[in-house]
């Protein structure tokens, strides 16, 4: 069992956006808000949910490879896939904005905080059942290391009602390794491990954000309060 570490690194903010309403409308210490929210969310994720409960959907691959003079065809079923470990979590691309719009001629103010939560060195585990033509089935345990998996998150609040909305967009991933790591390593797994496309499972990562991370943030709403609006440019 790999040790799961969760350290939050404070990353640089990328600009503060203040629009309309008042040129100097801004959110007070939105960076501190993101830092606390990210930290508490990861803490609750580890304690109440556990990282290993972040699952990746089952998927199948069709194999049709030529390796030297050896032709390999068949299929692979990947099941019970989940996050095994992450080295650390950080956040970046933090920005905030305050906007105004007219709803039935009544001004409505909305404030938003945007940031990206990043899991660094995230390892996913898989069970693989390899069924090659004219061969007995073979079972393998597999892992794959992502350099990072990132979750773009946006939190907006309507100021007259305090209604707060948590949304996430498509998760991104970065992976340098081209191949999965199969155990045991056999001549068959040497061929099969080349068929993985690292972006192919990212819809599961997107679900981690919408189904697990955002609900935790929402639960924390009363504890970690949305930043106050200020009109002095927050200098
Ligand atoms: C993978 O293939 C198996 C066997 O054909 C099938 O039972 C299973 O539903 C498939 N899984 C997915 C995710 O398509
Ligand atoms: C919205 O939140 C602010 C600050 O927490 C509070 O002072 C205000 O009463 C709230 N407004 C409503 C409509 O709940
Ligand atoms: C793959 O390995 C198996 C078992 O070691 C062996 O019987 C088979 O001939 C090998 N196939 C090729 C194409 O090397």
**What would the pLDDT profile of 128-182 be if each residue is shown by its tens digit?**
999 999 899 999 999 999 999 999 999 999 988 999 999 999 999 999 988 999 9
- Ligand 2 pocket member 162 (CB < 6 A): yes
d(CA 40, CA 224): 9
Q: What is the pLDDT of residue 2?
A: 35
Strands (E), 37-160: 55-56, 59-67, 70-85, 88-103, 106-132, 138-158
Q: Are 171 and 149 in contact (CB under 8 A)?
A: yes
Task: Over range 92-109, report the average pLDDT.
Answer: 85
For residue 196, the 8-state DSSP code is -
Q: Looking at per-residue confidence, does 67 or 207 come out higher? A: 207
Ligand 1 neighbours (beta carbon < 6 A): 58-60, 77
- Looking only at the bridges linking them, the beta strands covering 26-27 and 229-230 are antiparallel
pLDDT tops 60 at residue 5: no
Mutate to test the pocket of ligand 1, among 60, 63, 75, 130 (most ligand atoms within 8 A of CB): 60
For CA atoms 220, 167, 27, 115, the dihedral sign is: positive
Q: List the end-to-end C-alpha distance of the chain, in Å, as a whole number.
A: 48
Q: String of b and e for 167-199 (b: at least 16 CB within 10 Å)?
A: ebeebbbebeeeebbbeeeeebbebbbebbebe
Q: What is the pLDDT of residue 231?
A: 76
Q: Are 129 and 77 in contact (CB under 8 A)?
A: yes
* CA–centroid distance, residue 200 to ligand 3 (Å): 29
Structure tokens at 159: 């100021």
Which percentage of the chain shows pLDDT scores above 90? 67
Q: What is the pLDDT of residue 23?
A: 60
Q: Shortest CA distance to 205 belongs to which of 54, 81, 32, 87?
A: 54
- Ligand 2 pocket member 104 (CB < 6 A): no
Q: What is the pLDDT of residue 109?
A: 82
d(CA 48, CA 79): 24
Nearest ligand 1 atom to the CA of 60 is 1
- Looking only at the bridges linking them, the beta strands covering 55-56 and 70-85 are antiparallel
The ligand placed nearest to the CA atom of residue 204 is 1
- Output the residue whose Cα is nearest ligand 1's atom 3: 77
* CA–centroid distance, residue 179 to ligand 3 (Å): 21
Nearest ligand 3 atom to the CA of 70 is 13
Nearest ligand 1 atom to the CA of 58 is 13
d(CA 65, CA 173): 26
Output the average pLDDT for the chain. 87
120 phi/psi in degrees, rounded to 5: -95, 145
| Model pLDDT for residues 14-67, shown as the tens digit of each residue | 333 334 444 678 899 999 999 999 999 999 999 999 999 999 999 999 999 887
Mutate to test the pocket of ligand 3, among 67, 74, 187 (most ligand atoms within 8 A of CB): 187
- Output the residue whose Cα is nearest ligand 2's atom 3: 162
């Amino acid at each position: 069992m790999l040790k799961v570490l969760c350290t939050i690194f404070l990353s640089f903010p990328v600009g503060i956006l203040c629009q309309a309403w008042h040129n100097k409308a801004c959110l007070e210490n939105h960076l501190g808000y993101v830092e606390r929210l990210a930290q508490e969310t990861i803490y609750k994720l580890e304690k109440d949910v556990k990282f290993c409960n972040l699952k990746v959907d089952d998927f199948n691959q069709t194999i049709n490879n030529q390796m030297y003079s050896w032709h390999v065809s068949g299929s692979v079923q990947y099941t019970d896939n989940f996050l095994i470990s992450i080295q650390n979590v950080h956040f970046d691309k933090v920005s905030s904005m305050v906007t105004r719009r007219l709803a039935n001629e009544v001004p409505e103010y909305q404030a938003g905080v945007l940031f990206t939560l990043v899991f660094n060195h995230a390892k996913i585990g898989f069970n693989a059942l390899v069924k090659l033509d004219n061969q007995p089935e073979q079972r393998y345990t597999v892992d794959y290391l992502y350099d990072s998996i990132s979750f773009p998150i946006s939190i907006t609040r309507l100021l007259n009602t305090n209604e707060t909305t948590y949304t996430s967009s498509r998760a991104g991933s970065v992976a340098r390794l081209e191949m999965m790591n199969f155990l045991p390593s056999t001549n068959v797994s040497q061929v099969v491990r080349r068929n993985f496309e690292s972006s192919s499972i990212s819809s599961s990562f997107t679900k981690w954000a919408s189904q697990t991370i955002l609900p935790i943030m929402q639960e924390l709403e009363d504890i970690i309060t949305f930043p106050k609006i200020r009109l002095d440019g927050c200098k």
